[in-house]
Amino acid sequence: MILYKKDNYGIVTLTLDMSGQSVNVINSEIAKAFEPVLDYLEKDSELKGVIVSSAKTSFLAGGDLDFLHQAADESSVFDYTDRLRRIFRRFELLKVPVVAAINGAALGSGFEFTLACHRRIALDSPNTVLGLPEVSLGMIPGGGGIIRMIWMTGLKEAFNIVSNGRLLHVREALSKGLIDEIAEDREMLLAKARQWILSQPKISKVWDTEELIPNHSNPRYPKTAYMIADLTSTVIRKTLNNYPAVLALLNAMVEGAMVDFEAATRINVRYFTSIIFSKDCRNQTKAFWYDTNKIKNGLGRPKGYGRFKARKIGIIGAGLMGSGIAYIAAMQGIKVILKDVSKNLAVQGRDYIWKMLDKLVQKQKMTVLQANEILERIEATEDIALFEDCDLVVEAVFENSELKKRIIKDTENYIHHDTFFATNTASLPISDLAGASIRPENYVGMHFFSPVQTVPLVEIIKGKKTSAETIARAFDFVIQIGKIPIIANDSPAYFVTRVSSTYFVEGLLMLQEGECAVQIENAGLQAGMPLGPLAYADSLGFKYVLDAEKHFAGQIIENYKSSSAFSILESMIQKFDRHGKVREAGFYEYTNCEKPYLWPELTKHFPKKETKALSQEDIRHRLMFIQCLEAVKCLEEGVISNTNEANLGSIHGWGFAPFKGGVIQFINDFGVEEFVTKAKELEQKFGPRFKVPKMLEEMATEKSNFL
């Protein structure tokens, strides 16, 4: 667990090596192991110094999430965290120099531990990532690291780094003073550590010697007080009070900067404990840790097929989507044939990719050499014959069934019978498209999201004849390019488009009923959606929405009943020549201003009703419940097979309130029984679309929760 070795100089090297796992993780076990070591070190009068390193490729990671989330009560979380805090502090207060020889990633409380050491020397490698990612899981760091960072980088900088859960590469950490030195290899790392200890350095920390924190970090200093006030309102602007961890972090830091170090770190533990027990933290940890891991570990992947690894892929269509897919694939070392109808168009796509790479070079996230290497993996062409040895072909042309059918027919003449073929589409029926294929078992839908570079999700759509093996390969490919796969069965609009469209449709209905547009938009935003429902409709484009709608109405669904909301979009196009964001005029005005604003004439054409307006809460419930109910129907109908994929699909697919943990976790968070009661109320007031699905009704009776 912890290997102890003392050399002739009296320097002890502690090597962390947790058995049975590939990384060292801070948990209650390691806490127990540290204490006797500290007892021993504290008594050793011959001791000259301590070096802490790791036997793994990473240094130390932290947070025992299982323990924290299963803890029975606040006092057990507080005690556990305070114990860790004290262990770190005991290292800091040893009479001899303690060096963290950081040979790889140090994250969370693992990084907090290094901050308590007297010197941090890190291996200069791309894998040495440092930082406190807790906020991205809805938590805050608890081991006193944030208090140490206030003193080391200043309050504002420390808050900016930690509040974004930002991880730093070794050189950035060096420039910010969070580490002291870098070493090119493991040998040098330990040598430099030893050398520093032997130089008899001063080891007391500023927070233990200085009486006052510098003015720029002292909340009692007027300018700093106003800086904190601004940070607060900026946090509210960004979170709309939906992410309490960020505010708790700021509070822990501000209060921590006003009291002595010991009290500051204990205040830190108190805020940490309160956040661990907040619903928002539970929701986010569930989504971004548990759900994500389950999916990545193959929850939805058909079993019994060997791992697929793409070496070379073909992409048809070098537009934004196609180029985006080519870009992320090439970044992962995959060779790409990027094809369009003319070489010229294909080259334009490749140029676009170069622009993205160049941005990374400008930001010093990549060298020119690396960027060139990536670009060279992409071949721009009009020649379909080059697909010959591709492991996979992704078609990313625009949403037109005839075109897509023609392409699969053409392409199949040139690709291996074993190569699988993916069509990128948001709502077209896969089984129908696959009808044009001679090998429909190899044909699969792959719904990428725009912009491909940043959205971490891909929705895989299984047609009627798509084989399990093709799904397994599609799954592996999505993982290979660093995205999260969710798997939907072919059905109208699948999962993401189907559920997300209920959101803006509900907004349109309320507009039609005479609710105030501003209130509808604000309700959506304040409920945690990235855009108000009208802005969302704008972003999709009205014609696109109506075409899809007509498609469903005309071909796919029997007895399809179109929502009256779509007539609004029709009249927006026909009467007012407004088409959405693409044409810079939709429910919002997009021209001549920094910030889009609602079309001033909207109130004229959709006047507010005379009768009493809905409360903000009612509007919010309508917007959120309609999505949740649709998602439950998808589970019930087998469109999607598990809650974890539904949750992540909603968060990454259309930005469903992340602090709620996704569209299904929202129901758990609300309380299943309470949700059903509220939905019934909505059904009575606003119509049968709020009818509670049987599955949910039964869960309420059984008093069970979604997993």
Partner 1 sequence: MQQREIFIYDAVRTPRGLGKSQGALQEIKPVQLLSNTILAITNRCGGIRDYIDDIIIGCMTPVGEQGGDIARAAALFSGLPFSCPGLQVNRFCSSSMESVQIAASKIMAGWDELILAGGIESFSRVPEGSDGGAMMFDPDVRAKVNFIPRNVSADLLATLEGYSREMIDAHALNMHQRALTTINDVPFYESILPVYDINGLPVLSKNECFKNNVNLEWLASLPPMATDSEDKGYDVMATLRYPQIEDVNHVHTIGNAAPLADGAAMLLIGSKEIGQKLGLKPKAKILSAAVIGVEPTLMLQGAPIAAKKALKIAGLTSKDIEIWESNEHFAAVGLKFLQDMSLHSDMVNIYGSDIAWGYAAGAMGAIAIGTVLDGLVQQDKTLGAVAICARSGMSSSIIIERC
- Binding partner 1 by CB under 8 A: which of 115, 150, 178, 247? 247
The active-site residue, picked from 112, 506, 515, 589, is 112
Q: Is residue 232 part of the contact set for partner 1 (CB under 8 A)?
A: yes
Q: Is residue 226 part of the contact set for partner 1 (CB under 8 A)?
A: yes
Token duo for residue 409: 């027919």
Q: Is residue 162 part of the contact set for partner 1 (CB under 8 A)?
A: no
Beta bridge partners of 62: 26
Note whether 236 and 244 are within 8 A (CB): no
- Binding partner 1 by CB under 8 A: which of 75, 127, 160, 234? 234
- Binding partner 1 by CB under 8 A: which of 496, 516, 531, 679? 516
Q: Is residue 250 part of the contact set for partner 1 (CB under 8 A)?
A: yes
Nearer to partner 1, 170 or 252 (CB): 252
- Min dist CB 684 to partner 1, Å, is 25
Half-sphere exposure of 215 (CA within 13 A, CB side): 3
Closest by CA position to 590, among listed 576, 575, 604, 580:
580
- Binding partner 1 by CB under 8 A: which of 33, 93, 188, 240? 240
- Classify residue 498 as exposed, middle or buried by CB count within 10 Å of its CB (0-12, 13-18, 19+): buried
Token duo for residue 638: 């087998």
Helices 261-276 & 244-256 angle (0-180, nearest 10): 170
Helices 542-551 & 566-574 angle (0-180, nearest 10): 130
Active site residue 112: yes
The active-site residue, picked from 29, 35, 74, 134, is 134
Choices 94-102, 492-500, 517-525, 629-637 (CB under 8 A): range interacting with partner 1: 517-525
Token duo for residue 94: 């040893």
Choices 52-60, 230-238, 669-677, 680-688 (CB under 8 A): range interacting with partner 1: 230-238
Q: How crowded is residue 236: how many other Cβ atoms within 10 Å of its Cβ?
A: 13
* Residues 572-611 interacting with partner 1 (rule: CB under 8 A): 595, 597-598
Choices 1-9, 144-152, 239-247, 572-580 (CB under 8 A): range interacting with partner 1: 239-247
Q: Is residue 251 part of the contact set for partner 1 (CB under 8 A)?
A: yes
Token duo for residue 98: 């303690």
Residues 6+ apart with CB under 8 A from 478: 446, 458, 460, 484, 485
Q: How crowded is residue 197: how many other Cβ atoms within 10 Å of its Cβ?
A: 24
Note whether 167 and 129 are within 8 A (CB): yes
Active site residue 601: no
Note whether 15 and 193 are within 8 A (CB): no
Q: Is residue 164 part of the contact set for partner 1 (CB under 8 A)?
A: no
- Min dist CB 116 to partner 1, Å, is 25
Q: CA 74 to CA 68: how far, in whole Å? A: 10
Interface pattern 524-543 for partner 1 (x via CB under 8 A): --x-----------------
DSSP letter (8 states) at residue 640: B
Q: Is residue 254 part of the contact set for partner 1 (CB under 8 A)?
A: yes
Q: CA 557 to CA 561: how far, in whole Å? A: 9
Q: CA 144 to CA 261: how far, in whole Å? A: 9
- Min dist CB 510 to partner 1, Å, is 13
Q: Is residue 218 part of the contact set for partner 1 (CB under 8 A)?
A: no
Interface pattern 613-632 for partner 1 (x via CB under 8 A): ---x----------------
Nearer to partner 1, 248 or 321 (CB): 248
Tell me which residues are annotated as active site.
112, 134
Site for partner 1, rule CB under 8 A: 219-220, 222, 225-226, 228-238, 240-241, 247-248, 250-251, 254, 516, 518-519, 521-523, 526, 595, 597-598, 616
